[in-house]
Amino acid sequence: MPRLDVEKTLEELTLGEKVALTAGIDFWHTAAVHRLNIPSLRMSDGPNGVRGTRFFNGVPAACLPCATALGATWNTDLLHEVGRLMGDESIAKGAHVVLGPTINIQRSPLGGRGFESFSEDGVLSGTLAGYFSKGIQEKGVAATLKHFVCNDQEHERLAVDSIITERALRENYLLPFQLALRICRTACVMTAYNKVNGTHVSENKRIITDILREEWGWDGLVMSDWFGTYSTSDAIAAGLDVEMPGKTRWRGTALAHAVSSNKVPEFVLDERVRNVLNLVNWVDPLGIPENAPEKALNRAQDQALLRRAAAESVVLMKNEENLLPLKKDKSIAVIGPNAKLAAYCGGGSASLDAYYTVTPFDGVSSKSTGDVHFAQGVYSYQDLPLLGPLLKTADGKPGFSFKVYNEHPSEPNRNLVDELHLVSSSGFLMDYVHPKIHSLTYYVDMEGHFTPDADGIYDFGVTVVGTGRLYLDDDLVVDNTQNQRQGSAFFGNATVEERGSKTLQAGHTYKVLFQFGTAPTSDLDTRGIVSFGPGGFRFGASRRISQEDLITEAVALASSTDQVVVFAGLTSEWETEGHDRKHMDLPPGSDELITRVLAANPNAIIVLQSGTPVTMPWAAKAKALVHAWFGGNEAGNGIADILYGDVNPSAKLPLSFPVRLQDNPSFLNFRSERGRVLYGEDIYVGYRYYEKVERPPLFPFGHGLSYTTFSRSELELATVPEKLHYEEAGEPVTVSLSVANTGPVAGAETVQLWVAPPATGVNRPVRELKGFVKVFLDPGEKKRVQIVVEKKLATSWFDEQRGKWASEKGVYEVQVTGTGGEVLTSEFRVERTRYWLGL
């Protein structure tokens, strides 16, 4: 399609066409004006993989490690590579725009989407996001920085007012966006759901226009988060180009009327449309046709990259007595709730159907040449495990039939509308459509056969956005159709899981029938909750067994095996968009399991998976501890590569892990109260707080061990003469040093550059991260490395009285840290105080 002449096209567009271009037409697509060669563009989630256009029964995709895992790599080259993979995946899914990366700041460990963002620190987050976006956009695909800004909790996220000082807003929450845009001027930015100091961001002119566009000079497209537009005229005037998703609530005839009545000047509407047309031109070289078919890649080189990323994200937290790496030829006991569970991503819009997954048990088993034994220990599920994968169809295939009807099951002679074969018994139907479905109200019969492998009482659970009944051999076991209770699944739309039980015999085959009615059949009061169309369903099952029996079995195995690994942690049930965690603890029973296994075998290796910090009351007793995050497709292989030493761990924590939740600086000010949340910790987020009050966390930001040792020496610092104004030159501060691998195996060291300010008229953090570099070294190898930072970025704080960044005169200490060893120090001087704005 020929490149658009934007100004000529603007002149030829009718008012109705202009209005249409400022809103989506469905969940993923923008409007087209074919008479003027303006195509519809496709967008797709998300931060750790490109799902395509369907939550329900979609085309599988590559799943990257979650953002905190990628943040733990501290590797800009790796982020650039995985960004390029995201670009390829987007093209395969026919998408012009990737809705990521997410770069909000984790001010609390409880944030439901904390796993989606890279770090608690703006420099680390913004730098990694910049290289990630650069990789995406090198493929011709538009990247989208989100959520702009302060979307740091899920509780009342559409309504909450984030009350924050200008200084904290600038120094912590806007900073990652600012730094990312210095590296890669992304084509798109997505506004946050929340308000900032009284005004929703999607209609906040000061944030969208004054800061993003004018101060930073950015000229891309601003879109709303999904259902995150709250006005017509105000949002247009503030600079919100596109309301997503469609069909529009706020534009359409309302916007046309606002223009015709001079409430919105047409030239302002033209500014919004101009940005849409510029995006069309930006992605035009891709050549992706409208409504392109969605394809899977799953290439060998991508699998290798995902495995490398998974391994490089694994943090070695403790390794007393060099218990790690393990020996491949010795027998091993694999224990724990996450061992045979693929906790590969968090929940919500970041989730996707992966090409494949590798569990930790799979990864360990593939490497071990000794015997591999397993004990469950405890279960970590919140809702019962999905039943679908355990079912068989009438003709023997894994899964179950999915039959759709317009009529209620009580009506005779129903007409079958559609029939699918599914394996997963969790489905979000918001993007399921069929031409013979008459309305949002329809009914689905899901039928399969279940053959238990052990006698006992089995629990069955049903969660719905709608209504559901589950039958076994025509006996009603779970009825979730009346007196429904509000739960948190499916973005807060679903019921709680209702359960029932039945005694089953091993080897006997039971017919399972789940009858589902879509969302309009529910009696839940969903006012104030964003509706996602037809709703969703989830049904699961598990044999009932006592926690004590499971732990006792695990302890017996641990006491009789030399090599023991316990896999525990969170899953997408516990960390998900839609709700925040209530506490930092592991799922019930996990701490007791770990404590008792360590008592039976003090050399047991503990491996945790979570996207954000968890409490570890047993940490002092664990000699070896590994944190593995949500590792994507290759999670299990990446973990095993580290445990057996095929990859030397090099990851560093991108988050502080507090001893307990009460130690976190946001503890008294997290969650919405009467529609607002006070950012009372101000600039002291994460390590800035712990260092200021001298309260050591359990594991500090930047912590991570290796199987080798490193030395840092020969520090040199160079500056250039200061100019009159910072805008005239970057004025680099160049830090050079030698890094050597002094140990027995190859490995990577992350050199961290910190700057400690002089005492001035305002309180400031003890020190702040200002730069970093990762270097790979063979045993005995020594390299010279450099970290270059701009003096203004290394020294400034935001002066609210002036409304500008202030770089105050004085002597600034430079600290260089890494894996163990001493801290190297130097200093440089700022000769005179200067003030500045801009990127």
Which of 796-811 are b and which e, b meaning 16 or more Cβ less than 10 Å from the residue's Cβ?
bbbbeeeebbbbbeee
Cβ atoms of residues 350 and 104 within 8 Å = no
Provide the residue type at 747 as one letter.
G
Provide the residue type at 809 as one letter.
K
Of the pLDDT bands very low, low, confident and very high (cuts 50, 70, 90), residue 532 is: confident
Element containing residue 564 per DSSP (H, E): strand 563-569
64 SS3 class: coil
Cα separation of 573 and 380, whole Å?
10
For residue 434, what are its two tokens?
């069929």
Q: Judging by beta carbons within 10 Å of its beta carbon (0-12, 13-18, 19+), is residue 756 exposed, middle or buried?
A: middle
Provide the residue type at 149 as one letter.
V
pLDDT at 729: 64
Residue-wise pLDDT tens digits, 543-572: 999 999 999 999 999 999 999 999 999 999
Residue keyed to tokens 């920085």: 145
163 pLDDT above the threshold of 70? yes
757 SS3 class: coil
Cβ atoms of residues 323 and 603 within 8 Å = yes
Residue keyed to tokens 């070294």: 777
Cβ atoms of residues 222 and 239 within 8 Å = yes
| Superfamily of chain region 388-424+433-533 | Galactose-binding domain-like (2.60.120.260)
528 pLDDT above the threshold of 80? no
Cα separation of 498 and 813, whole Å?
59
Cα separation of 628 and 634, whole Å?
12
Sign of CA dihedral 702, 708, 714, 720: negative
538 vs 529 pLDDT, higher one: 538
Between the alpha carbon of residue 736 and those of residues 501, 632, 717, 772, 815, the distances in Å are: 66, 35, 6, 12, 12
pLDDT at 469: 98
Cα separation of 834 and 839, whole Å?
15
User: Which percentage of the chain shows pLDDT scores above 70?
Assistant: 99
293 pLDDT above the threshold of 60? yes
Cβ atoms of residues 41 and 81 within 8 Å = no
Does the annotation count 591 as an active-site position?
no
For residue 324, what are its two tokens?
């790690």
Strand residues in 340-434 grouped as ranges (E): 372-375, 391-392, 400-405, 416-422, 426-428
488 pLDDT above the threshold of 90? no
Cβ atoms of residues 242 and 224 within 8 Å = yes
Of the pLDDT bands very low, low, confident and very high (cuts 50, 70, 90), residue 431 is: confident
Over range 185-192, report the average pLDDT: 98
pLDDT at 525: 80
For residue 691, what are its two tokens?
């260092």
Residue-wise pLDDT tens digits, 598-644: 999 999 999 999 999 999 999 999 999 999 999 999 999 999 999 99
Over range 726-735, report the average pLDDT: 82
Residue-wise pLDDT tens digits, 362-398: 999 999 999 999 999 999 999 999 999 999 999 999 9
Cβ atoms of residues 132 and 101 within 8 Å = yes
Over range 156-167, report the average pLDDT: 96
Neighbours of 329 (CB within 10 A): 8
586 SS3 class: coil
pLDDT at 723: 83
Average pLDDT of the chain, as a whole number:
96
Q: What topology does CATH give the domain 306-380+546-641?
A: Rossmann fold (3.40.50)
Rg (CA), the chain: 27
For residue 209, what are its two tokens?
């226009």
Of the pLDDT bands very low, low, confident and very high (cuts 50, 70, 90), residue 760 is: confident
Of the pLDDT bands very low, low, confident and very high (cuts 50, 70, 90), residue 822 is: confident
Residue-wise pLDDT tens digits, 325-359: 999 999 999 999 999 999 999 999 899 999 999 99
Cα separation of 548 and 589, whole Å?
9
Q: Would you state the CATH architecture of domain 710-836?
A: Sandwich (2.60)
Lowest mean pLDDT among 44-58, 591-605, 721-735: 721-735
Residue-wise pLDDT tens digits, 8-23: 999 999 999 999 999 9
Q: How far is CA 268 from the centre of its chain?
A: 35
Q: Check residue 386 and give left, alpha or beta (phi > 0: left; psi -120 to 50: alpha).
A: beta
491 pLDDT above the threshold of 90? no
Q: How far is CA 446 from the centre of its chain?
A: 31
Cα separation of 718 and 442, whole Å?
70
Over range 493-511, report the average pLDDT: 97
Cα separation of 273 and 221, whole Å?
10
Catalytic residue among 45, 225, 445, 580: 225
Q: How is the chain split into domains, by residue range?
A: 1-38+222-287, 306-380+546-641, 388-424+433-533, 710-836
Provide the residue type at 94 as one letter.
G
Element containing residue 791 per DSSP (H, E): helix 791-795
Cβ atoms of residues 690 and 696 within 8 Å = yes
Residue-wise pLDDT tens digits, 225-235: 999 999 999 99
527 pLDDT above the threshold of 70? no
Is the backbone peptide bond immediately before 403 cis, with ω within 30 degrees of 0?
no
Helices (H) then strands (E): counts for the chain: 19, 36
pLDDT at 761: 83
pLDDT at 728: 64
594 pLDDT above the threshold of 60? yes
Pairing state of beta strands 624-627 and 605-609? Answer: parallel
